[in-house]
Amino acid sequence: MAAASNFSQSTVGLRPPPTGTPQLIQYLARSLDLETDTVQSRIEREREFHNKEFADSERAKINSVYFITRNSTKWYENFLEQHAQGSHVLEYGCGPNSYAFWLAQRGAQVVGIDISDTAIEQMRERSHQRPFPERVSFQRMNAEELDFPANTFDLICGRAILHHLDLVKSFSEIARTLKPTGQAIFVEPLGHNPVINAYRNRTPELRTEDEHPLMTSDLKMAEKYFGKVEAHYFHLGSLAATPFVGKKLFDPVLNMLEATDQMIFKVLPFMRKHAWAVVLVFSQPRKQS
């Protein structure tokens, strides 16, 4: 699946711009209306898809694949644990696998946002049964247009969320709302591996039509918004451990394949982009004028 990090090319069907001033104004107005309609349609598609997903648990049938992601998950959790205490945290995409309560138990004040009404309802209900409910809150919000002042958060985090978003808008909003000393961390799928892309193409019902696994060009673009961008790559050959899930050999097979993956990424850097996932750490946010 090809990545598409810029959704601004939405003037399909327009004629070339006219030269007269009144006509040019009309042309630009129509162009803006079409772009707005396209963005709103994309957001509505994402909301509807995830409302259904969180209500019906459609992804349960492919959960076995995600057992192999424990190394990237562990890296993510270790980072969060090191930075949670006393931090004001924003979690992007706080669906059923939210880390909000986990972070609150470690001393963070957490705001979770999601485009899905269902996700927010579920998380608010759960907060009544979890410790430290006063440390968590949940809001339905478009992650590309955050309703928070600049320099609000010490930490922004999320898993498998950026590839659903317009990266220009979301990177800009993350940089704007992070404190100057703040950091952001995300776990995201990559879009270069032809085998993984073939699987994605065969299972379109498991994903939204607008999602776009990240490309190396997207990681490069992040440098416009952050003075420091770190990328840590995971899961190449370790995908082969999937058939062993639930069996005694799973742990040793996965450990061997993960160690092999890290060796490959170190010795053959050009193979990193073919990983399934990347953990991104952003810091030194560049404040846009």
What are the residue boundaries of the structural domains of the chain, listed by start?
Answer: 60-285
Strand order in the sheet with 153-159: 136-140, 109-114, 88-92, 153-159, 178-189, 277-285, 226-234
Which of 17-31, 68-82, 108-122, 186-200 is predicted least confidently?
Answer: 17-31
Q: How confident is the model at residue 21 (pLDDT cuts 50, 70, 90)?
A: low
Distances (CA, A) of 274 to 26, 126, 191, 192, 197: 45, 37, 8, 5, 10
Could you tell me if 117 and 47 are in contact, meaning their C-beta atoms sit under 8 angstroms apart?
yes
- How much is the mean pLDDT over the chain? 84
Could you tell me if 75 and 185 are in contact, meaning their C-beta atoms sit under 8 angstroms apart?
no
CATH of span 60-285: 3.40.50.150
pLDDT at position 59, please?
47
Q: How confident is the model at residue 169 (pLDDT cuts 50, 70, 90)?
A: very high
pLDDT above 80 (res 184): yes
pLDDT at position 60, please?
43
Within 8 A by CB and 6+ apart from 266, the residues are none
CA distance 109 to 218: 30
Judging by DSSP bridges, how do beta strands 226-234 and 136-140 pair with one another?
unpaired
CA distance 286 to 174: 10
Give Cα 219 to chain centroid, integer Å: 13
